[in-house]
Structure 1
């Protein structure tokens, strides 16, 4: 079952995306969120989870869809393949970084920063080791 419906996405008032593009991006966004949450909802049922965590997760999925839509790419390589600089005749344009003045060694992450904002405090970002009881 998909993590998010098109009507839910529209109700969150994220950037406008048509339904065909939404369905395409939903698959990739879901994969990213599964990775970030250590496949929590592959092992648990989203719709029966507590409303607080369920709603935050759905907003994170919507946020990831918006991120992919704005960047026009869904892979790490696609997101980061823009040139640092280019020249046309005597004109040169450089895409300097806010972190590194030369623009080198910086890349955009596959997961939107806002995803972590939505998931903080839900327990879905936990990366420790669980203890099994007998």
Structure 2
């Protein structure tokens, strides 16, 4: 899995001009699933995201997790994280998992996160417009194959 993690003060996603999900303070996740991802990748990502200390404490130090602050998560599927750009000018996406596997994996990922914090999600495979206010800015790349 490849996940772009953004600490946000707010984020939302629209499909066909309709807002389908919105959060306040928390994490915006752009989530890509690869063909070699397994349950251990999912478990690792969930554990890391729930415990990643990237929110400020009273002293202004990044020392709190999304759980600690009572934050929310907005999860958006993003197969383009597996773009291959070495040849030519048009990215290839053959490195991403097939849609059936990726959708099931993504939904399980969201369900596991939702056991601990409120999770809202985009629509898998839809053309979405994502709006966010990146807080910091703090943006982190999490790759479960690079532990």
Q: TM-score range by the shorter chain?
A: under 0.3
Q: Which has the larger radius of gyration?
A: 1
Alignment TM-score, normalising by the size of structure 2: 0.25
Structure having the larger proportion of residues in helix: 1
* Structure with more relative contact order (C-alpha pairs < 8 Å, separation 6 or more): 2
Alignment TM-score, normalising by the size of structure 1: 0.26
